[in-house]
């Protein structure tokens, strides 16, 4: 499985591609950051993010895209920019028919470090170990993108199984509709 992780942001949008399956060693395929100038108009910045993500999708051909789920912070401006960048990543994936998974920061931290309250340094350290890198990816947004991809690879088998069970349950418990006049 090849996953593009996206840590959305207007100034720095972390991107990282990880390949592998749960229970086996993972491999980093690529990591980086899509940057936009802080003094540019928001619409122009979103176009730059879209172009950057499209380049990553073209070059690395992921099968899935994992995006950090936006959560409420105290600074509404920051949340808006993050949400807008997140929407661009989801749009780029959807345009190509790629499945998109949203993972909360605490889910990602728990998957990678064992603690949903881990700090950025702990996440970077564990990403470095798990992917057998020489040093943590810089900036932290890049390491976070890799952590998102790792989280998705590890969670995908359980998530897929739960979705299959839910779909089977819906089929079994769906009400039977008899044609009119047969009651």
CA angle 24, 121, 71 (to 5 degrees): 85
7 marked ligand binding residue: yes
pLDDT mean over 20-33: 96
Given a cut of 80, whether residue 64 has pLDDT beyond it is: yes
Nearest to 108, CA basis, from 2, 32, 5: 5
**% of the chain with per-residue pLDDT over 90:** 77
Report pTM.
0.87
Is residue 15 within 8 Å of residue 56, measured between CB atoms?
A: yes
Q: What is the pLDDT of residue 75?
A: 75
Catalytic site positions: 7, 68, 141
Q: Quote the crossing angle between the two packed helices 42-60 and 76-95, to the nearest 10°.
A: 40
The H or E element spanning position 84 is: helix 76-95
Report residue 134 as tokens. Answer: 């020489």
Is residue 23 within 8 Å of residue 65, measured between CB atoms?
A: no
pLDDT mean over 23-49: 97
39 marked ligand binding residue: no
- 175 to 42, 56, 169: CA distances (angstroms): 49, 45, 12
Beta strands in 62-149 (DSSP E): 64-68, 100-103
> Whole-angstrom Cα distance, residue 102 to residue 138?
23
> Whole-angstrom Cα distance, residue 42 to residue 20?
36
For 160, residues 6+ apart whose C-beta sits below 8 A from its C-beta are none
The residues pairing with 102 across neighbouring beta strands, listed in sequence order, are 67
Q: What is the pLDDT of residues 71-122, one digit of tens each?
A: 766 777 778 999 999 999 999 999 999 999 999 999 999 999 999 999 999 9
Of residues 163 and 148, more confidently modeled: 148
Domains of the chain and any CATH numbers? 2-173 (3.30.420.10)
Centre a 10 Å sphere on the Cβ of residue 47 and count the other Cβ atoms it contains: 14
Region of residue 4 (left: phi > 0; alpha: psi -120 to 50; beta: else): beta
């Amino acid at each position: 499985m090849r996953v593009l992780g996206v840590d959305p942001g207007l100034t720095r949008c972390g991107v990282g591609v990880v390949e592998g399956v749960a229970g086996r060693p993972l491999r980093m395929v690529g990591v980086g950051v899509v940057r936009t100038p802080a003094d540019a108009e928001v619409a122009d910045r979103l176009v730059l993010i879209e172009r950057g993500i499209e380049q990553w999708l073209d070059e690395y051909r992921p099968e899935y895209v994992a995006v950090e789920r936006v959560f409420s912070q105290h600074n509404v401006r920051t949340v808006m920019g993050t949400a807008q960048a997140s929407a661009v990543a989801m749009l780029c994936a959807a345009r190509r028919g790629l499945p998109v998974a949203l993972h909360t920061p605490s889910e990602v931290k728990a998957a990678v470090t064992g603690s949903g309250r881990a700090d950025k340094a702990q996440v970077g350290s564990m990403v470095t170990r798990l992917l057998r890198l020489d040093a943590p990816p810089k900036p932290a947004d890049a390491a976070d993108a890799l952590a998102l991809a790792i989280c998705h690879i590890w969670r995908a088998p359980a998530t897929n199984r739960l979705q299959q069970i839910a779909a089977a349950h819906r089929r079994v418990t769906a009400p039977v509709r008899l044609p009119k006049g047969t009651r």
